[in-house]
Structure 1
Amino acid sequence: MMKGIKKWRLFSLVTALMVFLSGCGDERLSTLKPAGQVGRDQLNLMVLSTGIMVLVIVVVMIVYILVIMKFRRSKVGENVIPKQVEGNHTLELIWTIIPIILLLILAVPTVIATYNLADVSGMDKKDEDGNAKAVTVNVKANLYWWEFEYPDLGIVTAQELVVPTKEKVYFNLIAADVKHSFWIPAAGGKLDVNVDNLNKFYLEFDNASDGLEDGVFYGKCAELCGPSHALMDFKVKSLERDDFDAWAADMKASAEEQTPEGDVAQQGQEIFNTSCITCHAVSGSGSTGGVGPNLATFGDRNRVAGFMEHNEEKIKAWISNPEEYKPGNLMPQPKEINNGKDFTDQELTALTEYLMGLSVED
């Protein structure tokens, strides 16, 4: 009976591991399918280090098995002591030099790749007209959302990073509250986002993300930062350079106030302007500084609050009780911004209609 239980436990463990590992092949969030040169360099280092570790394990296991087979009691007897090799200079040289060689094989490419990734000199290069040659993004990590400012373009967005393909994109990382970590598994990186100092690095994206499921890569906070750390996700949309330039132009154009279509959406705008506007901007043009995420592209996103499905039901649920879905976040409860009352279903419907209409994409 006990053997049967143990077999089922082993089967359950293997099944759970298979489910966990099934995500390793997902291009949106897998380090094993790099989306750019940085990701490939880091994957090569992982393969190299894993290969060295496997080689060491195999050699040690072979020596271990040979020693057990050669000097087992049934073969040499009870009272036989094998020849001692203490002080053997040849063996000591072998097990000293070989580890040093293996460490050098691993250390040299690691150091080279680390310094290459830290080279952000291209961030300051200008063309003949004085315009920045590369795209730079100022990333600010907040509890529990991400803000992305493009200082050279004069635009800002949140929760969805948009980048051009086939060129280096530079990042300035800073935290607004506690320590976070910026990571796009498919592209590489994973760098600390601190409160007191600015970290810089770059990433590259080979192809547009529109061919992926949901049309985006997935990014995460990789540093335990609070009760909703696991929900601090963001999305990355990579576009061909012409499409990126068009998106940037549309973001700048969003500064012009537009009247929403339909009476319900207009009612939602009025509610938003009396309850939500103090924390959230609805224009992609300008600079950072909002208490809450910029909502200029809310209608273009595929997630609510970074992790919930992007539909009317989830939007209403999030506005009604943000603390229930993302504990520790700083978004106020409805009563705090709506004269001490919860939003009615009609008000929630109007707000949802208005928010879904905030879009810069055709």
Structure 2
Amino acid sequence: MKRRNIWRGLFVFALFALVLTGCSGHESLNVLDPSGSAGEKQLDLIKLSFLIMLGVFAVVITIYIYVLIRFRKRKGVDVMPKQTHGNTKLEIIWTVIPIILLGILAVPTVTTTFDLTKIAQDEEVVNVKVTGYQYWWEFEYPELGIKTAQELHIPVGKKINFEIHGKDVLHSFWIPALGGKVDVIPGRVTNVILDANKPGDYQGKCAELCGAGHALMDFKVKAHSAEDFDKWVTQMQAPPAELTTDSEKRGEEVFQQNCLGCHAGINQSVPGPDLSKFGTRDTIAGMLKNNPENLKKWLHDPQAIKAGANMPKIDYLEEKDLDALVDYLESRK
């Protein structure tokens, strides 16, 4: 019976481990497969800490098993093992060893932390101002005159200096494939330097519980080759495309009447993201695929999609005006 219970327990453990293998999610969320120099250095620290913990576990479990076997209760033997309580030499040993292990981990951790904030004087850097809101992210490129939301574009092989601001509550800026988490605190500016060593799409997240919509406060990171990044910059700096259809022109009127107060554009201090290049984005609110059908759902009831979102419902428009507004926003490229 005991043997059967052991095998049953092993089966349950193996099944549980198999289920957990599906928790890694998208490849871009895997901190164990970094795509940037900061992530690679932090992975080295993860490996070092894991080896230290594995060594401690091996020693402790070896002593534990030895004691279980050596001092097990045996028939006819009732001898109390030698007591070591108050042994100064032993207490010094198991106090000094953890200090040494913490020192081995602390020195590279501190040096790496400072190293990740350094930029060579002759190194070309892209500066990005990041602002965290409930529940979306704004990305501004001061030198390039570009402001966008929910989609961060960076060139491969260049350091990106993120200047991070908080607008309302605590957030945490995190791109798992590129580097570790950074606190976003209202009234305080924090900086982090990251880069990507290969083109691709990466997932960004808020890693601080910030309200009802926290789980959906995602953003996309698009790492481009230098040539493709320059093309994106040119596209973003160019004036929006001219309106070509009556529906788009009507949509502009609807936008000005209903949306302009919160989405005035790059040079205005407004509570909503800049939508002047909305049609270039792959997603709506950082989570829905950008297409007319999803955009209509979002405009009609944002809170039904992202709980706690500050954007009000636009459920009072006539169907033709809502369609016109959608056409106008999708034309902003």
Question: Is the pair's TM-score, using the shorter chain for normalization, greater than 0.5?
Answer: yes
For residues 292-326 of structure 1, give each alpha carbon's deviation from its aligned partner in whole angstroms, at most 9, with x where no partner exists.
11223322322211112322222111100112222
Alpha-carbon distance in 2 for matches of 1:16, 1:81: 41
Alpha-carbon distance in 2 for matches of 1:161, 1:324: 25
Taking only the aligned residue pairs, the percentage that are identical comes to: 43
- Matched AA of 2:80: I
Given the alignment, which residue of 227, 244, 252 partners 1:269? Answer: 252
Structure 1 residues 330, 86: CA separation in 2 closer, same or farther (over 3 Å shift)?
closer
- Matched AA of 1:280: H
Q: Does 1:175 align with 2:178?
A: no
Matches within 5 A, 1:121-200: 133-200=124-191
SS in 2 for 1:28: helix
Contact 1:165 1:239 in 2 (8 A): yes
Alpha-carbon distance in 2 for matches of 1:287, 1:17: 52
Contact 1:142 1:175 in 2 (8 A): yes
Given the alignment, which residue of 263, 279, 287 partners 1:299? Answer: 279
- Matched AA of 1:348: L
SS in 1 for 2:60: helix
Structure 1 residues 55, 297: CA separation in 2 closer, same or farther (over 3 Å shift)?
farther
Contact 1:151 1:287 in 2 (8 A): no
Alpha-carbon distance in 1 for matches of 2:301, 2:150: 19
CA shift for structure 1 position 287: 4.5
Given the alignment, which residue of 327, 333, 358 partners 2:307? Answer: 327
For residues 313-360 of structure 1, give each alpha carbon's deviation from its aligned partner in whole angstroms, at most 9, with x where no partner exists.
22111100112222222112226xxxxxx123322222222222222x
Partner of 2:291: 311
Structure 1 residues 20, 292: CA separation in 2 closer, same or farther (over 3 Å shift)?
farther
Partner of 1:351: 325
Partner of 1:99: 98
Partner of 1:81: 80
SS in 1 for 2:144: coil
Partner of 1:115: 114
Alpha-carbon distance in 1 for matches of 2:205, 2:268: 21
Alpha-carbon distance in 1 for matches of 2:75, 2:276: 79
CA shift for structure 1 position 17: 5.6
Given the alignment, which residue of 205, 219, 222 partners 2:204? Answer: 219
Q: Does 1:247 align with 2:232?
A: yes
SS in 2 for 1:85: coil
For residues 155-208 of structure 1, give each alpha carbon's deviation from its aligned partner in whole angstroms, at most 9, with x where no partner exists.
111110111111210011111111111000111131011111100110010011
CA shift for structure 1 position 62: 0.7
Structure 1 residues 180, 272: CA separation in 2 closer, same or farther (over 3 Å shift)?
same
Q: Does 1:207 align with 2:181?
A: no
Contact 1:149 1:288 in 2 (8 A): no
Q: CA RMSD, aligned part only? A: 2.6
Q: Does 1:258 align with 2:241?
A: yes
Contact 1:154 1:287 in 2 (8 A): no
CA shift for structure 1 position 87: 4.9
| Greater displacement, 20-29 / 141-150 | 20-29
Tell me the TM-score normalized by structure 2: 0.89
Contact 1:24 1:32 in 2 (8 A): no
| Greater displacement, 300-309 / 317-326 | 300-309
Aligned pairs, number: 328
CA shift for structure 1 position 230: 0.8
Alpha-carbon distance in 1 for matches of 2:95, 2:16: 41
Q: Does 1:228 align with 2:213?
A: yes
SS in 2 for 1:334: coil
Alpha-carbon distance in 2 for matches of 1:357, 1:20: 43
Contact 1:139 1:174 in 2 (8 A): yes
SS in 1 for 2:180: strand
Q: Which runs of 5 or more structure 1 residues have no equivalent in the other structure?
A: 210-215, 336-341
Contact 2:30 2:176 in 1 (8 A): yes
- Matched AA of 1:322: P
Contact 1:179 1:193 in 2 (8 A): yes
Alpha-carbon distance in 1 for matches of 2:300, 2:76: 78
Contact 1:23 1:30 in 2 (8 A): no
